[in-house]
Structure 1
Amino acid sequence: MFRRFTKFTISVLCVSMVASAVHARDTCAAVDFLAIDLSSVEGIDLVEAALMLAYPSLVIVDGSVHFENGTRLPIGVDRGLLASDRLQNPTVREQFSQKYPLEFDLSEREKPWMDPGRARNDAFFRNLYFATKEDAAQTLEQVTYQDRAAFKVTRRECVAEQ
């Protein structure tokens, strides 16, 4: 019981951190994730904290992701699979098994199978974003980058503002 209460309290803390970074669900603004003070997340599961900071609509309770559509998906465990095997059917947690390099040095990417973000849990992204191409198309917005390139990206999860 105490563990469940603690996890709920941690989830509430993460939600409040997200709320301060993205003021309201319908109001999006670019977030500098490197500037967010993470000192208050000490003792919190880092995968759960990362999910809640990155995706404003998510709620994490008892080790499961709860989506707006009512779906519940366990975060799961890192099974210690080889990177090549992890691509087949990763858990949500295994999506975070490789760290993104934060510097502009890409030498780490030269190592075999070093491709952060490549392992993707299909159910996670279909529930978070869209199950069909048609659903995605309805939310596209044109974004211009440095007045040189234009892209169409979704408004969902504040992607267009990033």
Structure 2
Amino acid sequence: MIDHPRRLLLQLAIVLAICGTGRLAYATDAGDGVDQPAAKAALLKAYPGLFTISGNVLTWADGTTMVWDDGKARDAEALLESPDIEDMFRYVYPTAAEGALVPAEDFDPGRIRNEAFFEKLYGKSAADVGKHIANVKWLPKLGKKTVQVTKVFGINDRLGKISDVLEAMPAELSRYGLKPGGGFVWRPIAGTNRLSVHSFGAAFDINVGFSDYWYNNRNKTNPKTHIPFKNRIPLKIVELFEKNGFIWGGRWYHYDTMHFEYRPELLLYKKSG
């Protein structure tokens, strides 16, 4: 008699775990590939003192609770539309140190965002977020622009430091910051009902003149066709943003190469190995 398929898969997973590592991979490694202890540790370190995580429950300082992992299997579309908190770690973000990469299909580390979590971090409305918005002088000697981002987690100061370093770089690099696309604006992501991270003042678009965006390069007659990857932003600049807690939209299959957003938890999770 043939065993139940799910039981066979479990038996195979146990055998592979023993052969590959010499130990069983229990609940520390989720079936979706997320290293649970490392992901929880990264989130707690990224946003210290705001919440605790015990078992499958994240509890905010005001007593609000959220489910860490609801146990639901999600395809790529569902991961974007209705992720739990654990799902945000589904893909490991590749840093600039890994060099030029072409993202695999639907590989979008950072595009998966639990909106309720971000609303707790930054605010649930434009008015709430707006209370913490600050002006940052961006490349004040070269471009003389002012952009707006949140003061929460010192994001405004972080962006200011990036501006100072970028402005001091050779012209072939600093020119990529001369036409910034902006920071804070309360809006949904184009074509969706999901809030952009720009809504929270935690994202910045570095240059509209050197931007490549997946939606503009998709096959309009056959949307399921593989999207060709394009990028003109140097990795030296990406590395500068990463040092200050930002990830880059150029590491996504659905890429947005001028886009940077503050996601220290993904960089910490990457560093954990």
> TM (normalized to structure 1)?
0.62
The match for 1:56 among 21, 24, 48 is: 48
Q: Identity, % of aligned pairs?
A: 26
Following superposition, the deviation at residue 68 of structure 1 comes to 3.7
Deviations 1:22-73 (A, max 9, x none): xxxxxxxxxxxxxxxxxxxxx9811111111111242223132222443111
Partner SS state of residue 148, structure 2:
strand
Deviation at 1:77, TM superposition (A): 5.3
The equivalences for 1:57-76 within 5 A come to 57-63=49-55, 64-76=57-69
Cα contact 2:70–2:84 (8 A) shared by 1: yes
Alignment of 1:1-162 (within 5 A): 45-63=37-55, 64-76=57-69, 79-103=72-96, 105-109=99-103, 111-147=104-140, 148=143, 149-162=145-158
**Letter matched to residue 60 of structure 1:** T
Give the AA of the match of 1:137: G
CA RMSD of aligned residues (A): 2.5
Structure 2 distance, partners of 1:53, 1:101, is 19
Contact 1:47/1:96 (<8 A) preserved: yes
CA distance in 1, matches of 2:106, 2:146: 31
Q: TM-score, normalised on structure 2?
A: 0.39
Q: CA deviation at 1:82?
A: 2.3
Mark the structure with the bigger radius of gyration. 2
Partners in 2 of 1:78 and 1:103 — Cα distance?
A: 32
